[in-house]
Amino acid sequence: MQFDQPKRREFITLVGGAAAWPLVVRAQQAGKVVRIGFIGASLNSPAMAGQYQAFLTELRELGFGEGQNVIVDYRRIDDPRGPFAIAAELMRLQVDLVVATGPEVALQAVVGASRSIPIVILAVQYDPIARGYVESLARPGGNITGVFYRQPELAAKQLELLTQAFPEKSRFAVLYDANSADQLSAAEEAAKSMPLELRPLKLEKPPYDFAAAFATMAQGGAQVVLVLSSPPFVEHRPQIAALAIEHRLPTMFVFRSYVDAGGLMSYGVEQSAMYRRLAAFVEKILKGTKPADLPVEQPTKFEFVVNLKTARAIDVELPTSILLRADEVIE
């Protein structure tokens, strides 16, 4: 389901009433086990599994233990049936609340399946205010609240760090796909004020051929690679890191899990902290607070991680200034 801006605003007004919320509160008072739907990336990724565990742990510490007074039904955003099918399935399970993480389609699917259920979002690669899902950060105004961050801004910062780490290099390849096109636009805009040449390489039709992509970038004379954020990339972190080392290409990523897998550097939001915040939103809503009254949050904690072992493997020496700026240096 697609909403234009006026219709989204009209939709927010429609669902902004309080009729649905007491149902959750009464369920708690009656001792019913609350059912939560959770739409996210594949848990086959250790990083995603860890983030989801952070959500469950925080939820338990806030009084909602899975299998005790709450059941969480997890669904993959990349389920072959499609996001709208899994959202409809969650509605048939009569979930009391849905957590929708990742790209906009996760939220679109839930909104299309229900007009009243409380929704907690972790908005990635879209702005819920600009898209009309919430009225403002301070007053969401409807049945949707949560956390969001602007990944395009991170892309500009990642470029800045790369230029500081490798001031003598100017040919920067950028690996992206349709999910990260807005990040590429931000990187291209930032590059206008930097002495470097961006060489974007778009991957299409998953599963992606990362080996061919890195061979193309290396043969084209790339000196550094910025790997933008996209869900289809995440499960292939070890392969991407290994290919970068094979071609002796310094790389920058958005998630530290890439650096743990052998990537050179990452700069981005501390993911586990955001998933803990999602649990806090869920707890407040289940205890009776309306989503409309819970301000949407943006992350304040960012981390810059460097892998020195990888630097040695590709025979690059990082400036002391970069190492001092890093929140963590992996030896």
Nearest partner of 267 among 255, 257, 275, judged by Cα: 255
CA–CA dist 196, 173 (Å, integer): 10
Mean pLDDT throughout 131-151? Answer: 93
Residue-wise DSSP of 100-167:
EEESHHHHHHHHHH-SSS-EEEEEESS-TTTTTSSS-SS---SSEEEEEE-HHHHHHHHHHHHHHH-T
Mean pLDDT throughout 204-224? Answer: 96
Q: Do residues 121 and 167 both lie within one domain? A: no
Ranges of beta strands (E only) in the chain are 34-40, 70-76, 97-102, 119-124, 144-149, 171-176, 197-202, 224-227, 251-253, 265-269, 302-307, 328-330
Greater confidence (46 vs 128) lies with 128
Mean pLDDT throughout 3-21? Answer: 45
pLDDT of residue 25: 54
Residue span of the structural domain in which 320 resides:
152-269+303-330
pLDDT of residue 17: 43
CA–CA dist 328, 56 (Å, integer): 26
Q: Do residues 182 and 167 both lie within one domain? A: yes
CA–CA dist 99, 144 (Å, integer): 10
Nearest partner of 290 among 39, 16, 96, judged by Cα: 16
pLDDT in tens, 268-314: 998 899 999 999 999 999 999 999 999 999 988 899 999 999 999 99
With a pLDDT cut of 90, the percent of the chain lying above it is: 72
116 to 20, 84, 110, 132: CA distances (angstroms): 6, 16, 10, 16
Q: Do residues 252 and 115 both lie within one domain? A: no
pLDDT of residue 6: 42
pLDDT of residue 300: 84
CA–CA dist 289, 171 (Å, integer): 51
Q: Do residues 28 and 176 both lie within one domain? A: no
Q: How confident is the model at residue 8 (pLDDT cuts 50, 70, 90)?
A: very low
pLDDT in tens, 149-197: 887 788 889 999 999 999 999 999 999 999 888 899 999 999 998 889 9
Mean pLDDT throughout 21-45? Answer: 74
Q: Which amino acid is at 195?
A: P
Greater confidence (226 vs 27) lies with 226
CA–CA dist 202, 215 (Å, integer): 14
Q: Say how many domains are in the chain.
A: 2
Q: Do residues 101 and 235 both lie within one domain? A: no
Contact (CB, 8 A) for 147 and 297: yes
On the CB side of 59, how many CA atoms lie within 13 Å of its CA? Answer: 27
CA–CA dist 253, 60 (Å, integer): 31
Q: Do residues 190 and 218 both lie within one domain? A: yes
pLDDT of residue 301: 84
Classify burial at 22, counting beta carbons within 10 Å of its beta carbon; exposed 0-12, middle 13-18, buried 19 or more: exposed
Q: Do residues 250 and 295 both lie within one domain? A: no
Q: How confident is the model at residue 11 (pLDDT cuts 50, 70, 90)?
A: very low
CA–CA dist 41, 74 (Å, integer): 10
Q: Do residues 265 and 275 both lie within one domain? A: no
Q: Do residues 194 and 322 both lie within one domain? A: yes
Tell me the average pLDDT of the chain.
89
Contact (CB, 8 A) for 261 and 288: no
The enclosing H or E element of 280 equals helix 271-286
Q: Do residues 136 and 183 both lie within one domain? A: no
Q: What angle do CA 200, 204, 206 make, to 5 degrees?
A: 135
Mean pLDDT throughout 40-55? Answer: 90
Q: How confident is the model at residue 14 (pLDDT cuts 50, 70, 90)?
A: very low
Which CATH number does the domain housing residue 246 bear?
3.40.50.2300
Residue 76 φ then ψ, to 5°: -80, 135
pLDDT at 15 over 90: no
pLDDT of residue 30: 54
Question: Structure pTM?
Answer: 0.80
pLDDT at 108 over 80: yes
pLDDT of residue 47: 83
Q: Do residues 113 and 222 both lie within one domain? A: no
